[in-house]
Structure 1
């Protein structure tokens, strides 16, 4: 099992395996999490900003067959 991360990052690169994208991510510790919010990164041209914590997500790599 991978180590849990604190929700302090302000910039996170994600790929197609992380879709549908939501913040906080599953590998973040739970004590400082805000409510889960789904982010429409594909519809927003490959970038999304979390309205709760301000973390910016950037989609890297190719997305195939995802709606």
Structure 2
């Protein structure tokens, strides 16, 4: 697992269309790729998840899919 630096950490807003969410996202440049990890942004009320590899913070925005509170 690598440590995220201030230069590589990002914040990304995601919606129900992006689920199931994984990092790196499709289309990420080759230099930004790491092993794919699935993230559960609906697990907590804040709707946030952080990638353990690159430190990118994903925030769920919009309406939650049915069955998720």
For 1:11-58, what per-residue CA distance to the aligned partner results, in whole angstroms no more than 9, with x for missing partners? Answer: 000100000110000121233300000001111331000000000000
Per the normalisation by structure 2, the TM-score is: 0.75
RMSD over equivalenced CA pairs, Å:
1.7
Q: Which runs of 5+ in 2 are unaligned?
A: 1-7
Q: Per chain length, whose mean CA-contact separation is higher, i.e. which structure has more relative contact order (CA < 8 Å, sep 6+)?
A: 2
Q: Name the counterpart of 2:57.
A: 56
Q: SS of the residue aligned with 1:31?
A: helix
Q: SS of the residue aligned with 1:38?
A: strand
4+ residue stretches of structure 1 with deviation over 4 A?
none
| Between structures 1 and 2, the one with greater helix share | 2
Number of residue pairs aligned between Structure 1 and Structure 2: 60
